[in-house]
Amino acid sequence: MYKSGFVTVIGRPNVGKSTLLNQVIGEKISIISDKPQTTRNKILMVYTEDDFQVVFLDTPGIQMPKNKLGDYMLMISKSTLEEVDVIAFMVDESQEVGKLDKYILEELKGIKTPIVLLINKIDKLNEEEILALIKKYDDMNMFKEIIPISAMNNENINRFIAVLKELLPEGPQYFPDDMITDQPEKFIIAETIREKALLNLDEEVPHGIAVGIEGIKERADKDMIDVFATIYCEKESHKGIVIGKKGAKLKEIGRTAREDIEKLLGSKVNLQLWVKVEKNWRERDNKVKYFGYK
């Protein structure tokens, strides 16, 4: 009997959703940083065993929108709740249920889809604290299963997969064995560069960062791939911050991004980066779509 289905992983921003899925898939597809709005698109990832396939949807995280980009991200996150076979709701080690977690719990109350609760970052808790959190959420009577995990340390991830295998229905193999994402290389390269920008820049700048890939070209002798990309920011003052003193910040973004892109492409990479200003692009529908959020 072959089992398969679709699972969305939801939760407030930066709770560890992308870290979890990168661990499950074994490849770095979703970008990771400690900044809000890290994941902006619905990213499809595929985990396959001999008799089982789960298609994960990594969503932007449910948050209160502040602009057109925020509206788009909330719509993407909420729309997946009705499309899937199982919802995995992730919270962290906080002993108190926060405002945004309460908002998500309210959204989930009217939904008939089975919900698995993942309590992430248990490496920061002792056993007594973990048991107290499990009881708190168990008393809500909303969850098919409650699994304490550490996505960063790969703890209890196998149990999560085993629970999904139990819950998912009989079904076909939707994707080939070797497929792990529906995203093209161009998208993953752009996201890799954006991740390095998020990791290297001050808090005020990253929300307005977008990356456009102008071209990817393999050289005739096939020993190098040229990647041409532009980092867009919303304000002229941000451009200088992205570039840094004597170009140091941009060089560091480029160096760290190139290392990951070389692993992705399996080739040496010559990464050429530019920085341009696209004023208030997050407020403009056409620009939100232009940067791939559609």
Looking up tokens 């005020």 gives 204
3-state secondary structure (DSSP) of residue 6 = strand
- The answer to whether position 103 is within a domain reads yes
Do 256 and 127 share a structural domain?
A: no
Contact 229, 273 (CB under 8 A): yes
pLDDT at 286: 67
Query: Looking at residue 262, which CATH number applies to its domain?
Result: 3.30.300.20
Residue 7 pLDDT more than 70?
A: yes
Do 204 and 137 share a structural domain?
A: no
Do 159 and 212 share a structural domain?
A: no
Beta sheet of 210-218, edge-to-edge order: 210-218, 225-233, 269-277
- The answer to whether position 19 is within a domain reads yes
Per the structure block, which two tokens stand in for 190? Answer: 């752009």
Do 94 and 227 share a structural domain?
A: no
- Mean pLDDT within 138-148: 96
Do 205 and 145 share a structural domain?
A: no
Do 258 and 158 share a structural domain?
A: no
- The answer to whether position 237 is within a domain reads yes
Q: How far apart are CA 280 and CA 233, in angstroms?
A: 9
Do 20 and 95 share a structural domain?
A: yes
Q: Which residue has the higher pLDDT, 145 or 26?
A: 145
Q: Which residue has the higher pLDDT, 204 or 268?
A: 268
- The answer to whether position 173 is within a domain reads no
pLDDT at 151: 92
Q: Please give the model's pTM, rounded to 2 decimal places.
A: 0.63
pLDDT at 182: 67
E-strand stretches of the chain: 3-10, 43-49, 52-58, 86-91, 115-119, 145-148, 210-218, 225-233, 269-277
Residue partners of 180: CB distance under 8 A and separation at least 6 = 25, 26, 27, 29, 45, 46, 47
244: containing domain: 185-290
Side-chain half-sphere CA neighbours of 78 within 13 A: 16
Looking up tokens 């993953």 gives 188
E-strand stretches of 167-255: 210-218, 225-233
Do 128 and 37 share a structural domain?
A: yes
- The answer to whether position 102 is within a domain reads yes
| Helix (H) or strand (E) run with residue 237 in it | helix 236-243
Query: Looking at residue 124, which CATH number applies to its domain?
Result: 3.40.50.300
Tens-digit pLDDT profile for residues 74-117: 565 556 677 789 999 999 988 888 888 888 888 788 788 899 99
- The answer to whether position 180 is within a domain reads no
- Mean pLDDT within 284-294: 61
Tens-digit pLDDT profile for residues 203-214: 656 567 888 888
Residue 163 pLDDT more than 60?
A: yes
- Mean pLDDT within 273-289: 76
pLDDT at 260: 84
Contact 258, 218 (CB under 8 A): no
Percent of the chain with pLDDT over 70: 80
Contact 278, 210 (CB under 8 A): yes
Q: How far apart are CA 199 and CA 41, in angstroms?
A: 19
Q: How far apart are CA 231 and CA 213, in angstroms?
A: 9
Alpha carbon 231 to its chain centroid, in Å, reads 19
Do 283 and 202 share a structural domain?
A: yes
Do 153 and 22 share a structural domain?
A: yes
Tens-digit pLDDT profile for residues 217-255: 888 877 898 999 999 888 888 888 889 899 999 999 999
Report the number of distinct structural domains present in the chain. 2
Residue type for position 63: Q
Percent of the chain with pLDDT over 90: 34
Confidence tier at 289 by pLDDT (50, 70, 90): low
Do 136 and 225 share a structural domain?
A: no
Do 242 and 190 share a structural domain?
A: yes
- Mean pLDDT within 262-275: 87
Per the structure block, which two tokens stand in for 290? Answer: 């232009």
- The answer to whether position 175 is within a domain reads no
